Amino acid sequence: MKHIQENSAYQLSGLISAKFGLNFPKERFRDLENGLNKAKKDFGFDDLVQFVDWLLGIELTSAQIEQLASHFTIGETYFFRDIKYFNAIEKILKEELIPQKSNLDKRLRIWSAGCSTGEEPYSIAIMANRILADLKDWNITIVGTDINTKSLKKAQGGIYKEWSFRNPPDWLKADYFTESSKGSYQINQSIKDMLTFQYHNLAIDPYPSLINNLFAFDIIFCRNVMMYFTQDLMSIVIEKFYHSLNDSGLLIVSPSEASHILFGAYETLYYPDVILYKKIRTDYIPEKLHQIDKENYFHLDKEIADYDLFPVQKKSKKVNNAPKKIPQEIEKKVYKRIDISFSQTAEPMENAMNLFKSGHYDEAEKLLKSILSSDKKNTGAMSLLSNIYGNRGLTEEANTWSQKAIDADKLNPEPYYLQAMLLQETGKTEEAAARLKKVLYLDSKSVLAHFGLGNLLFKQGKISESNRHFKNVSKLLCDYDDNEIIGESDGITAGRFKEIINKIIEKNYERVH
Ligand SMILES: C[S@@+](CC[C@H](N)C(=O)[O-])C[C@H]1O[C@@H](n2cnc3c(N)ncnc32)[C@H](O)[C@@H]1O
């Protein structure tokens, strides 16, 4: 059998770590080669070396990345894997989350990131089904995401063989499955209806994001996924999960998946044989989570509490009303913490946007409120505040600010779009569709509104109407360069959008014909 050259292996290892975050150091070059040998046929090659030369010479499209991914990932999983984790979560749900939320919005959002063939998110749905007597009164979102499209397809089918039932609870098969053929078990429709599955690459796709419904989770499961990631990606992913959680949300990873040091911004919860990480809602900025020294951050927060960090304009010429000048040593510490996303020479709104994009929500919020205190009609600031609250799951605040933006400028489509996303998430599809139509009335070229409406109509079974909107997206995208980021999309490029939309149109065509 032919082997690939060591320098090509190094280059491919770099490519795979950039596209999927997966780590293939020299000791794993044999695994890398095995993956490439399996992948070559998918791309029409018989010869490994030719395939490698071709791979290294092209700019991979997202579709090719998706196709390649399935050959390098390990999808090992089963129902109620590591049951002690489910026991711990069940306890937290029963004793804390459910009682708390019963008095609020009865909303529960759970993400299984790296869900493989779906056994993990289905186990979560079954757990919710068992403990919530009034399940139908709850708005429950359980999302399973993965980069392996074959695994996602299997997850969507919901049919499993014996191997998925290693050490199952006694009642599992009898209560939640029907034997569809010898040795194959179909999950009950009522459980299936509680989940959605979608492609999402933790290394490159956006999160948190209102657009792809990955935001404000109460619990994120990401077990047996990050252990294959490079150290750098692990710390980025853990930070992005932090921003994708509700205040005091939980992150669940498997034991020894990632170094404890990376979870410095989380509180560690100890259960029998189980460690969970809880987001600590504070005003500090998790700039680089692994460098956080909690004592210092809390101390710093007290120190800076008295100062107006972002004096956009002096509110009054009278000395006693002017914001207190920040002592230089504190100013330095503050700006050091946020230097990656804050520049003292940039416009305040640009800084707010950069703080938002890098997940520094607290600082972005402070700055935006400071901007609004002197520029009361700044609808951009209002919309961004709405987006921040939306990402945190503070729906009421998010709605208030988008409504303020609408009241200040009825012709600005952005806040209507934000409201549509918020309404959709709370199950108000008709109202969400009305807002999206309003966006299109104000801006007929809004890619996101056509896309959103296409999705909503599709869910309502109105396939040809939905296709009309998807085709509009396709047409509008012709005016964009592939690397151009679609406005308000949390960083999705036109190229990625084109691939998503082409797949949807293809699938819908198959459905109709
Ligand atoms: C071993 S399975 C874990 C399944 C389940 N979480 C469990 O613990 O049983 C790991 C999964 O992570 C997925 N994965 C690997 N890299 C990923 C990435 N960059 N983004 C999303 N998923 C990824 C793989 O495709 C695979 O399905």
Confidence band (pLDDT; 50, 70, 90) for 186?
very high
User: Ligand 1: distance of its center to the CA of 182 in Å?
Assistant: 28
Residue 479 has pLDDT above 50, yes or no: yes
Nearest to 119 by CA among 53, 212, 228, 197: 197
Note the helical H segments in 318-446.
328-337, 348-357, 361-374, 379-392, 395-408, 413-425, 429-442
Quote the CA–CA distance of 152 and 120 in Å, as a whole number: 12
User: Ligand 1: distance of its center to the CA of 255 in Å?
Assistant: 15
**H/E stretch holding 54:** helix 48-57
- Residue 499 contacts residue 62 (beta carbons within 8 Å): yes
Quote the CA–CA distance of 483 and 413 in Å, as a whole number: 24
Please state which architecture CATH assigns to domain 83-279.
Answer: 3-Layer(aba) Sandwich (3.40)
Q: What single-letter DSSP state applies at residue 46?
A: S
Q: Which position has the higher pLDDT, 258 or 328? A: 258
Confidence band (pLDDT; 50, 70, 90) for 502?
confident
Kindly report the protein residue whose alpha carbon is nearest to atom 24 of ligand 1: 73
**Percentage with pLDDT > 70 across the chain:** 85
Q: Which position has the higher pLDDT, 463 or 340? A: 463
The answer to whether the CB of 146 is under 6 A from ligand 1 is yes
Residue 166 has pLDDT above 60, yes or no: yes
What confidence score (pLDDT) does residue 300 get?
A: 37
User: Ligand 1: distance of its center to the CA of 288 in Å?
Assistant: 24
- Residue 425 contacts residue 244 (beta carbons within 8 Å): no
The answer to whether the CB of 246 is under 6 A from ligand 1 is no
Q: Which atom of ligand 1 is nearest to the CA of 117?
A: 27
Nearest to 69 by CA among 24, 19, 120: 19
The answer to whether the CB of 76 is under 6 A from ligand 1 is yes
Q: Where are the beta strands (DSSP E) in 8-133?
A: 107-113
The answer to whether the CB of 202 is under 6 A from ligand 1 is yes
The answer to whether the CB of 496 is under 6 A from ligand 1 is no
What confidence score (pLDDT) does residue 178 get?
A: 95
What confidence score (pLDDT) does residue 282 get?
A: 52
Quote the CA–CA distance of 501 and 222 in Å, as a whole number: 28
- Facing residues of 177 across strands? 187
- What pLDDT digit, counting tens, does each position of 300-325 carry? 333 444 444 443 433 333 334 444 44
Kindly report the protein residue whose alpha carbon is nearest to atom 7 of ligand 1: 77
Q: Among 149-153, 288-292, 384-388, which stretch is predicted with the lowest mean pLDDT?
A: 288-292
Q: Among 48-52, 140-144, 323-327, which stretch is predicted with the lowest mean pLDDT?
A: 323-327
The answer to whether the CB of 235 is under 6 A from ligand 1 is no
Q: Return the best residue to mutate from 110, 116, 124, 149 for the ligand 1 pocket (most ligand atoms within 8 A of CB).
A: 116
- What pLDDT digit, counting tens, does each position of 363-422 carry? 889 889 999 998 999 999 999 999 999 888 888 899 999 999 999 999 999 999 999 998
Residue 298 has pLDDT above 60, yes or no: no
User: Ligand 1: distance of its center to the CA of 257 in Å?
Assistant: 12
Q: Which position has the higher pLDDT, 484 or 89? A: 89
- What pLDDT digit, counting tens, does each position of 456-478 carry? 888 788 888 888 998 999 899 99
B/e letters for 300-339, b = 16+ CB within 10 Å, e = fewer, are: beebbeebbbbbbeeeeeeeeeebeebeeeeeeebeebbe
Mean pLDDT over all residues of the chain?
83
| pTM for the whole structure | 0.79
What confidence score (pLDDT) does residue 263 get?
A: 85
- Domain residue limits, the chain: 6-69, 83-279, 444-513
Kindly report the protein residue whose alpha carbon is nearest to atom 2 of ligand 1: 75
- Residue 175 contacts residue 168 (beta carbons within 8 Å): no
Residue 38 has pLDDT above 80, yes or no: yes
What confidence score (pLDDT) does residue 344 get?
A: 59
What confidence score (pLDDT) does residue 483 get?
A: 82
Q: Which atom of ligand 1 is nearest to the CA of 254?
A: 8
Q: Which position has the higher pLDDT, 123 or 13? A: 123
The answer to whether the CB of 85 is under 6 A from ligand 1 is no
Kindly report the protein residue whose alpha carbon is nearest to atom 11 of ligand 1: 114
B/e letters for 396-427, b = 16+ CB within 10 Å, e = fewer, are: ebbbebbebbbeebeebbbbbbbbbbbbbbee
Kindly report the protein residue whose alpha carbon is nearest to atom 12 of ligand 1: 114
Kindly report the protein residue whose alpha carbon is nearest to atom 3 of ligand 1: 224
The answer to whether the CB of 121 is under 6 A from ligand 1 is no
Q: Return the best residue to mutate from 20, 85, 110, 146 for the ligand 1 pocket (most ligand atoms within 8 A of CB).
A: 146
CA 126 to chain centre: 23
Q: Which atom of ligand 1 is nearest to the CA of 201?
A: 20
User: Ligand 1: distance of its center to the CA of 311 in Å?
Assistant: 45
The answer to whether the CB of 70 is under 6 A from ligand 1 is no
The answer to whether the CB of 114 is under 6 A from ligand 1 is yes
